[in-house]
Structure 1
Amino acid sequence: MSFGLLFSQQVSGIPQVESSVESQVEEYPTENGIVYRVVVKNLDTANYAVYNVFIPTGVDTVRGAFIHQHGCGMEGRGVATAYDVQYQAFAKKWRLAVVGPDLYYESGCHDWKNPESGSGPSLLKALEQVGKASNYPELRDAPWLLWGHSGGGHWVLGMMKDYPERILAAFCYSPAFDPQWAYPDEALKIPVMIRHAGANDSNSPDGKCWETAVNTFHKLRSAGGLASIAHTPYQNHNYSFVRYMAIPFYSSVLAKRLPMGKSVSFTAMRDIDETTGWLGDTLLTNTYKYAEYTSTPMALSWLPDSMVAAKWKEYVITGTVVDRTPPPAPYGLTHKRLHNVAVELSWQATADVESGIKQFNIYNGNQLIARFPEHGVYQRFDTNGDEAIPMSGLPELKTVVMVPAGAGANVSISTVNHFDMESPRTVFTRVD
């Protein structure tokens, strides 16, 4: 028995959780906001779901929720999304909540990959609970950006079937299990991008990722859906720099679909006129402005604008998207003289939305005197599940540098993103 008993009642066509209970919402402050944690348990089975929801500091109204669903066998790693500084910066820019679910079922993903098993209704319950606890009650009705890997990609497709009116956009990373269901007309309004690795993907009779991607794309696109497909042939099921494509795709769709004004209701989402977009030839990787294409547009990927079309082409050719813009500069800089040769520095930083934070460079005048962290990177992501590393507990932005007293030192610091683009330096007050 799974979460199947959770929704005997229908309200406005949306399954409601009945036989479930939530834990108290716990709060975990971070440098950029608060992570709220809640557990939704099934009273009739041992199945339960844990949701970690990040809400950025300074947001007046939550306008949507980015929901990042892990794949099969990756339970326990979903929490990382809520602590991912790149996704946190993305959320702050667009006034979103970031949701990292962990679904624990007796049968594993065999059941949870289908939203009607209860994994859909439990999400609704968690968002409502966190909305109340955080004083952002609009979270209950905010529209969604969905992301899913493998079994999580199957779950996203299931959500498109069951909750299409709530979804702003969807990104499926090697979705699995080739669902045979039909999609309602409302799902055809959802911009969706599907990534797969072709022959290198997980293509066993149980996985069928290549089949899932191609069949789903053709099913949606032939019906007039706003679907695109990205084949990265030199990668595999567990290797893709998918967020470098997903974030600009989402950003373009958010600009076109988010409700106008202060409304956050999913019922106020705007539809996109297909003819204002671009098309991508999946075989030749050529791109075309929709209005200027003279053949059959349903045979090509639909892309929301010229920027996404260019990045889609780069992604399918190279397997990544290069960030060519510098990150924002650090801020909130302070220093404290420890003794005559050492100064303690502390600062704050907003991650580069496109490519995160690799490190910070520290200068005395024009001389590079240190980097933070001293070795490795500040945060990266696992190309398998796309989860942040470290998963939580990032090191505090504080370090000690050697700057002799009386030398008239002028210390500055910059942020470096994962494509080695460096921000402008932010200068500390004169260190005496």
Structure 2
Amino acid sequence: MKKLRIRMFFIITYAFMALSSLCEANGRTVTVPPTSQVEKRVVSSGTIYRVVVKHADTANYAVYNVFIPAGVERVRGVFIHQHGCGMEGRGASTAYDIHYQAFAKKWGLAIVGPDLYYRNGCNVWKNPESGSGPSLLEALEMIGNASCHAELKDAPWLLWGHSGGGYWTLAMMKNYSQRILAAFCYSPAFDPVWDYPDAALKIPLMIRHAGAGDANASDVRCWQTAVNTFHKLREKGGLVSIAYTPYQNHNYSFVRYMAIPFYESVLSKRLPTGAQGSFKEMKDMDKTKGWLADTLSLNTYAYDKYPGDPAALSWLPDSIVAAKWKEFVITGTVIDRTPPPVPYGLTKKRLHNMAVELTWKADADIESGIKQFHIYDGARLIARFPEHGVYQWFDTNGDDAIPMSVLPEMKTVVMVPMAADSTLSISTVNHFELESSKVAFQSK
């Protein structure tokens, strides 16, 4: 695999504030360990914490950016989005990704964007035993203390990994299987040779690969990784599926459109509901209530209606995921058929007789994010925000948010006469061109 030269659309600037030794939330006061060095940045939808975990006996270190949604009293799970080989320095973008932030807000999740900086690159960090596993645990505990979310260290995980990060995800299933709610691998590499513990067979896993178009050199073996992992787990009753998209390649796939509904189905069935929300309280899936998918014919079946050997087919958590899986493997994407949520927190301020300042907030569409906003005077479209391009997109290679920093404030000035004050409204447009209802601005 070649290291990719990445065009940085935006450079992340860390305008973080160091945390004091005490934090308060929900009536609790917690002492932050003095060695934690946790920093934070408040964004419109929550708080992003940043910590560097160094290894005392080596030059290796890891940087973690962790998003916690505003208003979440208890973190119920942790979504860990692991970059691939040669993509060190890009992991932070996931914490700033408004699409994933909306997903996290809905389910009460924290988002972890790791950047693993190790000598010899992913040849070291792809194996959790090298330190990338323990450093994650350390980071979660440190940020849990600093944010007054001590439950973070025991919350169950959703794992996501691309290429070398996919290998890391499979290795985490071997080493930390009892902590994992579900896993999604985007073209995992290096064809692991280990056996998995019985606890790993309970983890719903989806593996996407691109067949001949994937990275299949002898030292990468993405196609073989997908097929061999599938057979190894499925033959033992593992809850694993393959999403084969032959018209794409190693670095080009709209995987989040498949991964998010897959995760949502599993979360609805496995997420702990107890007071503590620990991974120890995860519920087991009932595999007989799932669906099966034939990767050759693309037919899908209710588990209890299939007449053949279920171990030969992919296992999916329900009929909705089965339908989206079929769409994804045929078309390479999953179409969003519902409009996005409406903007909220709208204000307007007259600057002079022709200019009005508009501000608002908006949650991203969980299915397809935010493309832009439309501003209306009555029924007439008078402006788009941003004026050109899109509000946020993602790079299919690595699934990184673009821009890779804090997004522009939802604020603009429109030129309209005073007579239009009562007729100004706004809507959200998602990436499948579906538009929310219009919402009227209120005077500030």
Is residue 55 of structure 1 aligned with residue 68 of structure 2?
Answer: yes
Following the alignment from structure 1 to structure 2, what is the Cα–Cα distance between the partners of residues 136 and 337?
Answer: 41
Is the CA contact 2:162–2:187 (under 8 Å) kept in the aligned structure 1?
yes
Cα distance, 1:22 vs. partner?
A: 6.1
Cα distance, 1:393 vs. partner?
A: 1.8
Is residue 192 of structure 1 aligned with residue 205 of structure 2?
Answer: yes
Aligned-residue RMSD, C-alpha: 1.1
Runs (5+) with no aligned partner, structure 1: 1-20
Following the alignment from structure 1 to structure 2, what is the Cα–Cα distance between the partners of residues 122 and 304?
Answer: 31
Letter in 2 for 1:307: I
Determine helix, strand or coil for the equivalent of 1:316.
helix
Is the CA contact 1:34–1:55 (under 8 Å) kept in the aligned structure 2?
yes
Is residue 205 of structure 1 aligned with residue 218 of structure 2?
Answer: yes
Determine helix, strand or coil for the equivalent of 2:51.
strand
In structure 2, what is the equivalent of residue 241 of structure 1?
254
In structure 2, what is the equivalent of residue 6 of structure 1?
none
In structure 1, what is the equivalent of residue 372 of structure 2?
359
From 318, 338, 351, the counterpart of 1:338: 351
In structure 1, what is the equivalent of residue 431 of structure 2?
418
Q: Are residues 48 and 408 of structure 1, via their aligned partners in 2, closer, same or farther at CA, if it must alter by over 3 Å?
A: closer
Determine helix, strand or coil for the equivalent of 1:339.
coil
Following the alignment from structure 1 to structure 2, what is the Cα–Cα distance between the partners of residues 406 and 325?
Answer: 34
Cα distance, 1:23 vs. partner?
A: 4.8
Query: Which aligned pairs between 1:16-55 and structure 2 lie closer than 5 A?
Result: 23-55=36-68
TM-score, normalised by the number of residues in structure 2: 0.91
Following the alignment from structure 2 to structure 1, what is the Cα–Cα distance between the partners of residues 169 and 338?
Answer: 31
Is the CA contact 1:120–1:159 (under 8 Å) kept in the aligned structure 2?
yes
Is residue 121 of structure 1 aligned with residue 134 of structure 2?
Answer: yes
TM-score, normalised by the number of residues in structure 1: 0.94
Is residue 139 of structure 1 aligned with residue 180 of structure 2?
Answer: no
In structure 2, what is the equivalent of residue 80 of structure 1?
93
From 111, 123, 126, the counterpart of 1:110: 123
In structure 2, what is the equivalent of residue 64 of structure 1?
77
Is residue 162 of structure 1 aligned with residue 180 of structure 2?
Answer: no
Query: Which aligned pairs between 1:330-409 and structure 2 lie closer than 5 A?
Result: 330-407=343-420, 409=422
Is the CA contact 2:230–2:240 (under 8 Å) kept in the aligned structure 1?
yes
Letter in 1 for 2:268: A
Deviations 1:252-274 (A, max 9, x none): 00000011243311011000111
Q: Are residues 231 and 374 of structure 1, via their aligned partners in 2, closer, same or farther at CA, if it must alter by over 3 Å?
A: same
In structure 1, what is the equivalent of residue 319 of structure 2?
306
Following the alignment from structure 1 to structure 2, what is the Cα–Cα distance between the partners of residues 127 and 429?
Answer: 41
Is the CA contact 2:206–2:240 (under 8 Å) kept in the aligned structure 1?
yes
User: How many residues are paired up?
Assistant: 411
Is the CA contact 1:198–1:210 (under 8 Å) kept in the aligned structure 2?
yes
Cα distance, 1:162 vs. partner?
A: 0.2
Is the CA contact 1:22–1:39 (under 8 Å) kept in the aligned structure 2?
no
Following the alignment from structure 2 to structure 1, what is the Cα–Cα distance between the partners of residues 35 and 82?
Answer: 19
Cα distance, 1:428 vs. partner?
A: 1.4
Q: Are residues 426 and 262 of structure 1, via their aligned partners in 2, closer, same or farther at CA, if it must alter by over 3 Å?
A: farther
Deviations 1:145-194 (A, max 9, x none): 00000000000000000000000000000000000000000000000000
Following the alignment from structure 1 to structure 2, what is the Cα–Cα distance between the partners of residues 99 and 393?
Answer: 16
Determine helix, strand or coil for the equivalent of 2:58.
coil
Is the CA contact 1:344–1:398 (under 8 Å) kept in the aligned structure 2?
yes
Cα distance, 1:408 vs. partner?
A: 5.7
Is the CA contact 1:71–1:385 (under 8 Å) kept in the aligned structure 2?
yes
Following the alignment from structure 2 to structure 1, what is the Cα–Cα distance between the partners of residues 143 and 328?
Answer: 36
Following the alignment from structure 1 to structure 2, what is the Cα–Cα distance between the partners of residues 285 and 173?
Answer: 20
Following the alignment from structure 1 to structure 2, what is the Cα–Cα distance between the partners of residues 407 and 82?
Answer: 39
